[in-house]
Chain A
Amino acid sequence: MAGADGDDSLYPIAVLIDELRNEDVQNDTETQLYSLKMYSIIHIFYNTIYDEDEVLLALAEQLGNFTMLVGGPEYVHCLLPPLESLATVEETVVRDKAVESLRKISQEHSPVDLEVHFEPLVKRLASGDWFTSRTSACGLFSVCYPRVSSTVKAEIRQHFRTLCSDDTPMVRRAAASKLGEFAKVLEPEYVKSDIISLFTALASDEQDSVRLLAVEACVSIATLLPQEDLETLVMPTLRQAAEDKSWRVRYMVADKFSELQKAVGSEITKNDLVPAFQNLLKDCEAEVRAAAANKVKEFCENLPEDNREQIIMTHILPCVKELVSDTNQHVKSALASVIMGLSTILGKDNTIEHLLPLFLAQLKDECPEVRLNIISNLDCVNEVIGIRQLSQSLLPAIVELAEDAKWRVRLAIIEYMPLLAGQLGVEFFDEKLNTLCMAWLIDHVYAIREAATCNLMKLVEKFGAEWAQNTIVPKVLGMANDPNYLHRMTTLFCINALSEACGQEITTKQMLPVVLKMSNDQVANVRFNVAKSLQKIGPVLDSNALQTEVKPVLEKLATDSDMDVKYFAQEAITLQS
């Protein structure tokens, strides 16, 4: 067999090498790598001639899946040299991918191979000259640590320590970001003896970009320590971080607050985190306040139940009240996105007395995003006090959003319409909101018209065909005579969306005649949309209507002078036959 295949087996490799050396790198990296994978010619990568980062990235990723292709776990270490060189590349995405692949294949090493091949690589990277290799090393300690002997473990800890106090901030950042992960694989005694001092040092680094990463590590470290040690080993650092002079660090604390809260437990939460949280809610930088405001609900939810209500009422709610009239709209909208959740925690009476005024104030906020966030979370309040309490203020807010100058705001409110309609009931809807829903159909922005069509469909699903026949179908069909062809097309789009929900009878008797009539429209776009519509509503119609009414019209359209009309008519005919 070897003889017969002899030429063939070398041939693809020759082709590959030739293709790989091709200068036009854009040609199909994907295919190149796919073939590489099949033939696993590692030595080509090893002396890789590429310097194109895109290729290197793909290479770094593929090599992580190569174990079987190089002969299984026994040989997996031969993937290390190319990955090692990729882990020293400048481009961050390439390096990260290489580290990811190294982490993956580290699991496929036997314990012996790990010590003989993998661990020396980690050490080489950790003591590399250029910062890139040292940053890569940071991500590899935790994957080999659990599976090596205690002497090697000691070395690894030493290397990690060194990198935590590296000269370049890039390396310290990498170490800080892996601190939590590394702590998790360490034996408890070393967490206390090693990690805590590193954590403290990184948390007071001169660069705020390093300090803020220590906050993240704080969560993991706190979960690893027994409760009684937290106060002395972690809390001083955390307190300091919550009052750091850099807003980025304080922001990080606010951002991770729920995790921190869970990690340190209820006692410390009560004594330390509540005041810290109050401070963050009152922080002088809006970014920090917004991050903290985002956590209000989660924080309150996770407070110890025994005096949750008291803490919220006396400590948190006063800050929340202030945030409602914050000067910064991001803060207000962050708060608006969670504040409704407090009602379930505080119960009916407190909600009516304390929260309702806040909701109402936010519904009148000048910033549309704030109002939108309140409206989009109505369901939480609905469960507790019912939506009627709000409906008086709700309506003006909805109307205003519906006419907002920014189409994205209008789009967002349309998307909540079905939900609102469900909660407010059909009468309220008919009386107050129906006109709005119809007005959106003639919006200047296509995306709004499209969403309005989709909204009608959902409303019909909710309120039923009879409601549709009485309230919206006549209006939609009336638009078929509009002088503006965009509005006429909207009729067609609505019919496309509504026919199924309305059922055969309405579709055949009311909608179909209108569609057929529009086949004589003078605008070609309308005509080819007629063809499309006929194709769409075909399944809803009975075969008689299809044969006697639809088919002749489509056949006429198929001879239209316009190319597109012809095309879509043809398409509809083929699909229906």
Chain B
Amino acid sequence: WALQILISDSLLAMSSAPTTSPSVDKVDGFSRKSVRKAKQKRSQSSSQFRSQGKPIELTPLPLLKDVPGVEQPELFLKKLQQCCTVFDFMDTLSDLKMKEYKRSTLNELVDYVTVSRGYLTEQAYPEVVKMVSGNIFRTLPPSDSNEFDPEEDEPTLEASWPHLQLVYEFFIRFLESQEFQPSIAKKYIDQKFVLQLLELFDSEDPRERDYLKTVLHRIYGKFLGLRAFIRKQINNIFLRFVYETEHFNGVAELLEILGSIINGFALPLKAEHKQFLVKVLIPLHTVRSLSLFHAQLAYCIVQFLEKDPTLTEPVIRGLLKFWPKTCSQKEVMYLGELEEILDVIEPTQFVKIQEPLFKQISRCVSSPHFQVAERALYYWNNEYIMSLIEENSSVILPIMFSSLYRISKEHWNPAIVALVYNVLKAFMEMNSTLFDELTATYKSDRQREKKKEKEREELWKKLEDLELKRGLRSDGIIPT
């Protein structure tokens, strides 16, 4: 990647080389932001609050495999304690030897928890948790730039990853180990621990978020007592994300975990879960950076509907409420999600929402943005949706007809016009009597609409006149 930037930078320099007046643009303002930003040196960062500035000395310990079995648990504890020491990775030159020593020790610990038996004494639990907490829990450093745009910018990577990765690796092996006993661990892996873990999901480093996902998933699976708490805290993170900050890097990862959590919900769904769907998951659709987690979000929604089809109506109404008005890219995403929902919709539910739904679809179909129109028209390639439309053609056809008819004449994009012809043809085959009727009345309907529009305008005019006439006398009107 860095190489690519170098190349494109030099290309830029070359392209502006021939025009050498004193105030020539050395960087052209139209290049992509990511290209321009490549000049920044820092692509790595780390919380620096912990570094002490003095050199760190650790006394090397023998390898675990080199000591007799009985001494191993003791040595294991000692190694855990050593690994609590945290190094400053922003300073690439300091403590090189000790950094390497800790790395190899961590590696050894990873192997050890994977293969050994009988090492997990009760004293080991607090030490493991202490070592993991000491390494991974930190205040995440401020983002490189204020306007960090996850879609455009390269993420800042965690500088201490060489150690951090091994700590995560170790922790996952520990949680997955056959000897691991949640009943003992729950004293140390508690609500506070989980809370700190969840805060780390805001890390800009995708590698870290990936590990966190696995860790949280294991914890959710093994600690029944923490489940409700975890869900509630994720709730809070999402609500803050939607309504306060619009910034949280780990939304996709959390949704991914939720997808499998929802999958495991017992039936009938608790009110808490339904509330989560309506008050948290649906509003998540409004966020600007939707594209970063839309796939996971749509998956969660569909999971819910497969569990409980009666939720279809509130979900679709929710989507219609938040339907994007100006962002075509988002509109395409909404249409995609809607198709996923329609794929699993029950005919009885479909009937309940078909009117508002197809009013929206008819608007999408006539969108001047051809990708939106195209995405909506693709619904007619879906056999299941087609069968639903066919069953309810008497309702849907009148809603769709005028848009389709108009686009078939007016749309600028020939591909759209072709698609519309197919749809019209399908409708004609479905219900030819109704189709003929609608075609016959199309003109008079249009005229009626125009007339109605005009009448409305006149009403408003009349109202304004009244207003002028009555002036402030209306102050006296008190509602009953």
Query: How far, in angstroms, from A51 to B29 measured CA to CA in the complex?
Result: 42
Contact of B139 with A246 in the complex, beta carbons under 8 Å: yes
Q: Is the CB of A407 within 8 A of B142?
A: no
Specify which chain A residues have a CB less than 8 angstroms from the CB of B480 in the assembled complex: 43
Q: Collect the chain B residues with CB atoms within 8 Å of residue A284's CB.
A: 48-49, 51
* Bound complex: CA A35 to CA B470 (Å): 12
Residues of B within 8 A of A (CB): 21-27, 29, 48-49, 51, 139, 141-142, 192, 195, 236, 239-240, 243-244, 279, 283, 321, 325, 359, 456, 459-460, 462-463, 466-467, 474-480
A43: chain B residues at CB < 8 Å are: 479-480
**A-B contact list, 20 entries, CB within 8 Å:** A12-B463, A35-B467, A39-B474, A40-B477, A40-B478, A43-B480, A70-B478, A71-B475, A90-B279, A92-B243, A170-B240, A170-B243, A173-B244, A206-B195, A246-B139, A247-B139, A439-B23, A444-B21, A444-B24, A448-B23
| A75–B26 touching, CB < 8 Å | no
Q: Contact at B321–A42, with CB atoms within 8 Å? A: no
Binds B, one of A343-351, A388-396, A398-406: A398-406
- On whether the beta carbons of A407 and B25 are closer than 8 Å, the reply is yes
Give the chain A neighbours of B459 by CB distance below 8 A.
15, 19
Nearest to B242 among chain A residues (CB) is: A90
Q: Are B27 and A405 in contact (CB under 8 A)?
A: yes
Interface size on A, residues (CB 8 A): 57
A39 to B477, Cβ gap below 8 A? yes
Does the CB pair A11–B466 fall under 8 Å?
yes
Inter-chain contact B141/A40, CB cutoff 8 Å: no
Selected contact of B463 from candidates A15, A285, A402, A406, CB within 8 Å: A15
Q: Are B479 and A168 in contact (CB under 8 A)?
A: no
Contact yes or no, A38 B25, CB < 8 A: no
B456 — which chain A residues lie within 8 A by C-beta?
19
Contacts of A326 in B (CB 8 A): none
Q: How far is the CB of A140 from chain B (nearest CB, A)?
A: 19
Residue of B nearest to A91 (CB): B243
**Which residues of B lie under 8 Å from residue A15 when comparing CB positions?**
459-460, 462-463
* A409 vs chain B, min Cβ distance (A): 11
Please indicate the chain B residues that have their CB under 8 angstroms from the CB of A11 in the complex: 462, 466
B325 — which chain A residues lie within 8 A by C-beta? 26
Restricting to A197-249, which residues have a CB under 8 Å from any CB of B?
Answer: 206, 208-209, 245-248
Known: A12-B467, A26-B325, A209-B240. 16 other contacts (CB 8 A): A38-B467, A39-B474, A43-B479, A52-B321, A68-B475, A90-B279, A91-B243, A130-B279, A168-B236, A170-B240, A245-B49, A245-B139, A246-B139, A285-B49, A440-B23, A448-B23
Check A90 against B478 for contact (C-beta < 8 Å): no
Give Cα distance in the complex from A515 to B22, angstroms. Answer: 28
Nearest Cβ in chain A — how far from B15, in angstroms? 13
Assess whether A410 is in contact with B23, with CB atoms less than 8 Å apart: yes
Q: Report Cα–Cα, A246/B51, bound state, in Å.
A: 14
Q: Do B479 and A407 touch (CB < 8 A)?
A: no
A290–B480 Cα distance when bound, in Å, is 59
- The proximity string for A residues 285-296 relative to B, scoring 1 for CB distances below 8 Å and 0 otherwise, is 111000000000
> Would A92 and B478 count as touching, CB distance under 8 A?
no
Do residues A38 and B474 form an inter-chain contact, with CB atoms below 8 A?
yes
Q: Is residue A78 contacting chain B, with contact meaning CB distance below 8 A?
A: yes
Say whether A41 faces chain B, with CB atoms less than 8 Å apart. yes
Give Cα distance in the complex from A482 to B302, angstroms: 67
Q: A346–B22 Cα gap in the complex (Å)?
A: 40
Do the beta carbons of A170 and B478 come within 8 Å of each other? no
Interface string of A64-94 (1 = CB under 8 A from B): 0000111100010010000000000011100
Q: Is the CB of A41 within 8 A of B479?
A: yes
